[in-house]
Each structure stands twice: as C-alpha cells, then as structure tokens.
Amino acid sequence: MVWDKDRFDELERKVRDTLEGRRLLKEVPYYIYLYDPKDEPIAIDEFQNLERRLNRPHSAECVWLSDFMIDFLQKKKFINSMGIRIENERREEVLTDLKNLLPEFIQEKIAEILRGKERSHCAILLRYGALRPFVQISSLIPKLVGVVKCTLVIPYPGHKIGWPLDQHPDSLAKSYRAEVI
C-alpha cells in the first residue's frame, strides 16, 4: 500500500462535510483511515497537516495515543529500572495488566481530553500502532460511543485485505458505524 493522496483527500472532504453539518449522520462520526505501516512517518505528517488545515475554519486537534501508553507504563511503574526487573521476573503478569487494564485506561484518557467537545470538533487519534496488540480498535470504539461526542479520525496502520492485527474493518463499519476509508 503506497500513500494514497486521493483517498486521503476523500477523508478530508468527508471530515469537512461532517464538521460543517453537510453529512447527515445519526451517530457521532468515526473515520478509520487505513495505511501501510511502512508509511507511518508520512501518515503522521499528513494527519498533522490535516489538523492545521481543519483548524483554520473549524476546531481540530491531534491526540497522541502513544503518550497515553507512556502514561500508563509510568503509572504502573514499568518505566524505570524496577519496572524492567518486574517485567523480566513477572512477564505474564505484566502482559495480563497490559491486556486487561490498558484498554480502559486509554478509553478514560480519550474521554477526559475530549469531554465537552461537540461533533463540530475533530480529534485525530495518532499512533494507534503504539497500543497494539493490547488495545484493539474493535473494542475501543464501542466504549467511546455515547462518551465522546466529537468527530473522530483514527489513522490505522493496517491493510483492508489481510487485516493483520484486528477485526476486519468492514465488520467495524457495520457494528460501530465507523466509516473505513
């Protein structure tokens, strides 16, 4: 998958139409943009540029999910010399904590940052790949429904065909009203 400017332009058009109230949707709009993981540096640049373009007439922000992962690891004391020792000695316990506690922590952090922001605001959730395999987008999105009321854009490092790390995006779109682009 090579960076697809036309598809990215389509995403921007849909997001702008949503922010301007031209797309009639029943639920809060979620857009999942698939890209090749090798294109991560390009994707980050493109989404930061999108945020700047959207901020001119609208309200938009980038939310760095990788920062939430670091916050979680620091809170659990996994990022320090003791954390390294704990991880080496109790690897299964650490993995269990990451699988069981990290998803809720991430959902709470997203909700906290986006509380009070309406559909006319766009939040771009960058660096989802930093959360894998511990947080699956297929479990995160349903937890945000009804909590986060702004437009969400989730860049996803994966492929539509051979979806490598999560539930297939077409089933996401059917189940959670996320539009996969």
pLDDT tops 80 at residue 80: no
Greater confidence (172 vs 86) lies with 86
Mean pLDDT for the stretch of residues 48-69: 94
When pLDDT is averaged across residues 139-149 and rounded to a whole number, the result is 84
Which run of H or of E encompasses 82? helix 81-89
Percent of the chain with pLDDT over 90: 44
Predicted confidence (pLDDT) at residue 160 exceeds the cutoff of 90: no
Integer Cα distance of 147 and 116 in angstroms:
10
Domain ranges, ordered by start, for the chain: 5-152
pLDDT at 165: 40
Among 10-14, 75-79, 146-150, the range scoring the smallest mean pLDDT is 75-79
Measuring CA to CA, how many Å separate 79 from each of 12, 72, 82?
Answer: 37, 9, 8
More reliable by pLDDT, 140 or 81? 140
Tokens of 80: 């320090």
Mean pLDDT value of segment 101-113: 92
| Higher local confidence (pLDDT), 164 or 71 | 71
pLDDT at 39 over 80: yes
**pTM for the full predicted model:** 0.83
Q: Is 154 helix (H, G, I), strand (E, B) or coil?
A: strand
pLDDT for the residue numbered 177: 62
Q: CA 139 to CA 178: how far, in whole Å?
A: 12
